[in-house]
């Protein structure tokens, strides 16, 4: 028989600590014992882990390896994916500034612009854009857009002369020259609550007309009878950075509108000034997917808007909603001392265009696409 001394337990190790020893010695012994015990636990933990890895089933290891490879591939794929073909309004502000702005007004330099150029290949181009969108996202909810692009020529040629959008007609939308305020109630009320804000920024801008005939940032439009001026914050889906900085509160207000069209070529926001004695020639807008909203800032008498043969008058602080794909005109028959007619114009989505359709149309008609 061989006598082997028993290994002291944790309690046994601590027993000597009760002996009367100096305080510093006591603390050192406690630290050494605790450190030794921690190393034992760590050694046991590592040994257990190694043994578990050895005992692991080969199939489980293969599954973990496959999942790891798939995760790495997914991270690589997402990292190299190209951004969306359309951008937010703030991003467009930066790109517009980089591309150059003439006199504060964005000019279209692309011969392929669907808003400004009419050519035989337009429908094929639009269908290609739709296919690209559906490939990235989904065909769900694209029925009307697909139908509209497929039969666009027939729609535009067969439309009655009272309504002929020049670029794109979305079928099966309710048709009427004017819309009630409830069509986009939130945005109408928001604009009207901020009437004084927009008016004050306009009056600051308009003071520059006393120093020159066409101040920087304004665009003059001539007609056989008179002229009118526009100051664009957003023109065909492109922000005009210099102009937005001169109307900061009005620009911020655009971001609060729920239905403002800001990411495609059919979206505009501007101040429109109609001089006395001016008649804007009858014309059609480019599409029926939008509602044009006029907030009256200065509305002298003898000013009218005629849409689809129906006349309406503006009122200060009130919004007037209409479908500009109908034949329309505006005129100011007041005297020079009456001053100009001034409205803040912004394009809103037609209330019957669904959210999925809006997203697809933003992609298809993105500026520069």
Pairwise CA distance, residues 236 & 89, whole Å: 11
Confidence at residue 13, expressed as pLDDT on a 0 to 100 scale: 43
Ordered alpha helix ranges (H), the chain = 10-14, 23-55, 58-80, 89-99, 122-136, 143-150, 152-158, 185-193, 195-206, 241-246, 248-256, 355-364
3-state helix, strand, coil in the chain (%, to 5): 45, 20, 35
CATH number, domain 181-354: 2.60.120.330
Residue 218 predicted with pLDDT over 60: yes
Helix (H) or strand (E) holding 222: strand 219-222
The tens digit of pLDDT for each residue in 50-97 reads 666 566 666 766 777 777 877 777 666 545 544 333 333 344 334 444
Q: Which of 98-102, 121-125, 196-200, 248-252 has the lowest mean pLDDT?
A: 98-102
Mean pLDDT of 148-154: 85
Q: Is 69 exposed, middle or buried (0-12, 13-18, 19+ CB in 10 A)?
A: exposed
Pairwise CA distance, residues 339 & 193, whole Å: 24
CA atoms within 13 A on the CB side of 81: 11
Confidence at residue 95, expressed as pLDDT on a 0 to 100 scale: 44
Pairwise CA distance, residues 32 & 38, whole Å: 10
Confidence at residue 27, expressed as pLDDT on a 0 to 100 scale: 52
- Angstrom distances, CA of residue 116 to CA of 6, 27, 326, 351: 96, 86, 18, 25
Q: Which of 118-127, 179-188, 247-256, 342-351 has the lowest mean pLDDT?
A: 118-127
Residue 12 predicted with pLDDT over 80: no
Residue 302 near residue 347, CB atoms below 8 Å: no
| Crossing angle between the packed helical segments 248-256 and 195-206, to the nearest 10 degrees | 150
Count of Cβ atoms closer than 10 Å to residue 44 Cβ? 10
Hey, where are the domains in the chain? 181-354
Q: Which of 93-102, 215-224, 306-315 has the lowest mean pLDDT?
A: 93-102
The tens digit of pLDDT for each residue in 279-335 reads 999 999 999 999 999 999 999 999 999 999 999 999 999 999 999 999 999 999 999
Confidence at residue 77, expressed as pLDDT on a 0 to 100 scale: 58
The tens digit of pLDDT for each residue in 37-50 reads 556 666 676 667 56
Between 44 and 259, name the one with better pLDDT.
259
What percentage of the chain reaches a pLDDT higher than 70? 70
Helices (H) and strands (E) in the chain, counts: 12, 12
Q: Which of 61-75, 99-113, 120-134, 147-161 has the lowest mean pLDDT?
A: 99-113
Confidence at residue 16, expressed as pLDDT on a 0 to 100 scale: 44
Mean pLDDT of 211-230: 88
Pairwise CA distance, residues 204 & 298, whole Å: 14
Pairwise CA distance, residues 329 & 336, whole Å: 20
What angle is formed at CA 247 by the lines to CA 244 and CA 251, rounded to 5 degrees?
60
What percentage of the chain reaches a pLDDT higher than 90? 57
Q: Which of 22-31, 123-132, 165-174, 221-230 has the lowest mean pLDDT?
A: 22-31
pLDDT, averaged across the chain: 80
Residue 108, phi then psi, degrees to nearest 5: -85, 125
- Under the phi-then-psi rule, with left for phi > 0, alpha for psi from -120 to 50, and beta for the rest, what region is 47? alpha
Mean pLDDT of 338-365: 97
């Amino acid at each position: 028989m061989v006598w082997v001394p028993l290994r002291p337990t944790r309690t046994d190790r601590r027993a000597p600590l009760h002996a009367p020893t100096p305080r510093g010695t006591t603390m050192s012994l406690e630290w050494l014992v605790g450190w030794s015990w921690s190393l034992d636990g760590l050694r046991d933990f590592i040994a257990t882990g190694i043994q578990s890895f050895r005992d692991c089933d080969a199939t489980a290891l293969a599954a973990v390896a496959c999942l790891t490879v798939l995760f790495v591939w997914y991270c690589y794929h997402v990292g190299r994916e190209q951004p969306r073909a359309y951008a937010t309004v703030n991003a467009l502000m930066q790109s517009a500034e980089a591309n150059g702005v003439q006199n504060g007004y964005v000019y279209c330099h692309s011969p392929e612009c669907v808003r400004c150029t009419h050519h035989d290949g337009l429908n094929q181009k639009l269908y290609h854009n739709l296919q690209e969108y559906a490939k990235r996202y989904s065909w769900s909810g694209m029925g009307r857009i697909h139908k509209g692009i497929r039969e666009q020529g027939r729609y535009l040629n067969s439309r009655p002369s009272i309504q002929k959008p020049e670029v794109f007609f979305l079928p099966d939308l309710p048709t009427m020259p004017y819309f009630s305020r409830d069509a986009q109630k939130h945005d109408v009320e928001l604009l009207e609550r901020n009437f004084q804000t927009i008016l004050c920024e306009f009056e600051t801008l308009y003071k520059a007309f006393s120093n020159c005939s066409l101040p920087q940032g304004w665009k003059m439009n001539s007609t056989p009878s008179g002229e009118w001026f526009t100051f664009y914050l957003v023109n065909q889906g492109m922000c005009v950075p210099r102009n937005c900085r001169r109307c900061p509160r009005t620009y911020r207000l655009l971001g609060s509108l729920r239905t403002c069209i800001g990411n495609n070529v059919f979206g505009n926001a501007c101040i429109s000034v109609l001089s006395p004695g001016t008649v804007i020639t009858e014309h059609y807008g480019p599409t029926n997917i939008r509602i044009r909203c006029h907030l009256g800032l200065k509305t002298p008498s003898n000013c009218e808007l005629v849409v689809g043969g129906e006349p309406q008058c503006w009122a200060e602080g009130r919004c007037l909603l209409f479908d500009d794909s109908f034949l329309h005109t505006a005129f100011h028959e007041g005297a020079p001392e009456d001053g100009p007619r001034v409205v803040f114009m912004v394009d809103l989505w037609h209330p019957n265009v669904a959210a999925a359709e809006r997203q697809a149309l933003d992609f298809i008609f993105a500026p520069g696409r």
